[in-house]
Amino acid sequence: MKAARIHRFGPPEVIVVDDLPQPAPGEGCVSVRVANAGVGPWDALIRENQSVVNSPLPLILGSDLSGVVEAVGPGVTQFRAGDEVYGVTNPQFIGAYAEVALASANMIARKPPSLSFSEAASAPVVAVTAWQMLFDYAKVTAGQTALILGAGGNVGAYAVQLGSQAGVQIFATASAQDARYVQSLGATTVIDYQRARFEDAVPPVDVVLDMVGGETRQRALEVVKPDGVLVSVVSKPPPDPGRSKPVRTVFFLVEVTTERLDNLSGLFGQGKLTARVGTLLPLVQVRKAHEMLAGKPHPPGKIVLSLSE
Ligand SMILES: NC(=O)c1ccc[n+]([C@@H]2O[C@H](COP(=O)([O-])OP(=O)(O)OC[C@H]3O[C@@H](n4cnc5c(N)ncnc54)[C@H](OP(=O)(O)O)[C@@H]3O)[C@@H](O)[C@H]2O)c1
């Protein structure tokens, strides 16, 4: 089978498509004939050896996938050959850019019938991340206010949809080209981050969700209410010693589970969530996909690899 691997860490050019034997699933795992694999910024962090999760080389990149179960390993009773599934490979976030991938059975779920395989592969990490930010970590309730930094991105778009449907008033930062899209997802106010300072446009909020990091996140501490919370998925926020009572800050790594995916599948099925695939590339163009992650212009929305061409 063909798989996109790295044998050393570095820029997109280190990715090579290798011919490998097809893997057999072990305890608690399934093998999946991959239809599509999602490409995300965390794949680039792994490629560059900048990720908080480490794996030995060589490794197959990729974590998000959709496809059809080929075989199940010992102890797997919830899936069988022929099931259409989506989800994540393993807690190391590797192994999905392959014609056949192994996935932990408790990190995948049945593919929502309303989604195509490419849409399904675009969703797992980013949609579950948005869900956990809002409901597991910020514990939002109806009537609260939230500022979403990076709302035009893939995690951000799900956070806007899920937050506004939960009755949270959403203030969002995005580039001008994404403003209308972010508003259509449910944000009441969208601030063009290249032209305006959100501090001048946003009242004190209960929650900040951070998909940007750096000085943007530091500035966002200023708009959190005294009892509010800032949840970041970029990195652990540094301490904020300038205050008598520091704002509560949280950083976490997403935990994709069958239960969380099933929850999201229900929302996709009801038309309450939309997936946005921007770029579909065959596996042989995997380097191009990573050049896009590194800033090469590409349409808005998720980058997805096709394994079936
Ligand atoms: N901890 C975890 O478990 C976890 C899980 C998933 C994702 N993540 C991380 O979360 C981050 C977002 O992921 P993603 O997949 O959503 O990435 P993405 O699709 O590239 O989205 C990032 C968005 O941020 C926008 N942006 C950049 N600078 C900004 C600024 N100063 N103010 C406001 N918006 C800004 C970008 O807009 P433009 O393109 O217009 O500049 C883009 O729309 C990444 O760092 C990723 O690694 C972490």
How confident is the model over 145-201, as pLDDT tens digits?
Answer: 999 999 999 999 999 999 999 999 999 999 999 999 999 999 999 999 999 999 999
Q: How far is the CA of 269 from the centre of ligand 1 (A)?
A: 26
Probe ligand 1: pick from 45, 128, 155, max atoms within 8 Å of CB? 155
CATH code of the region 126-251:
3.40.50.720
Return d(Cα 66, Cα 307) in angstroms, integer: 10
Protein residue closest via CA to atom 34 of ligand 1 = 150
pLDDT in tens, 260-307: 999 999 999 999 999 999 999 999 999 999 999 999 999 999 999 999
Does the Cβ of 301 fall within 6 Å of ligand 1? no
Cβ partners under 8 Å of residue 26, min gap 6 = 73, 74, 102
Residue 56 has pLDDT above 80, yes or no: yes
Q: CA dist 16 to 3, 178, 204, 295, Å?
A: 8, 33, 48, 20
**Domain 2-123+275-306 adopts which CATH fold?**
Quinone Oxidoreductase; Chain A, domain 1 (3.90.180)
At 239, is the pLDDT very low, low, confident or very high (cuts 50, 70, 90)?
confident
Cis amide leading into 300 (omega within 30): no
Fill in the DSSP letter of residue 80.
-
Tell me the mean pLDDT in the region 69-80.
98
Residue 244: pLDDT band (50, 70, 90) is: low
Protein residue closest via CA to atom 11 of ligand 1: 211
Q: Is 17 exposed, middle or buried (0-12, 13-18, 19+ CB in 10 A)?
A: middle
Are the folds of 2-123+275-306 and 126-251 the same? Answer: no
Pick the atom of ligand 1 nearest to 254's CA.
3
The pTM assigned to this predicted structure is 0.97
Which structure tokens are listed for 37?
């694999």
Does ligand 1 come within 6 angstroms of the Cβ of 211? Answer: yes
Q: Ligand 1: which of 39, 53, 125, 211 to mutate, most ligand atoms within 8 Å of CB?
A: 211
At 91-127, the pLDDT tens digits run: 999 999 999 999 999 999 999 999 999 999 999 999 9
Q: Are 262 and 151 in contact (CB under 8 A)?
A: no
40 lines ligand 1 (CB under 6 A): yes
List the domain boundaries for the chain.
2-123+275-306, 126-251
Percent pLDDT > 70 in the chain is: 98
Which protein residue has the closest C-alpha to ligand 1 atom 45?
234
User: What is the Cα 73 distance to its own chain's centre?
Assistant: 27
Distance of CA 75 from the midpoint of ligand 1 (Å): 37
pLDDT tens-place string over residues 191-230: 999 999 999 999 999 999 999 999 999 999 999 999 999 9
Q: Is the pLDDT of residue 237 over 90?
A: no
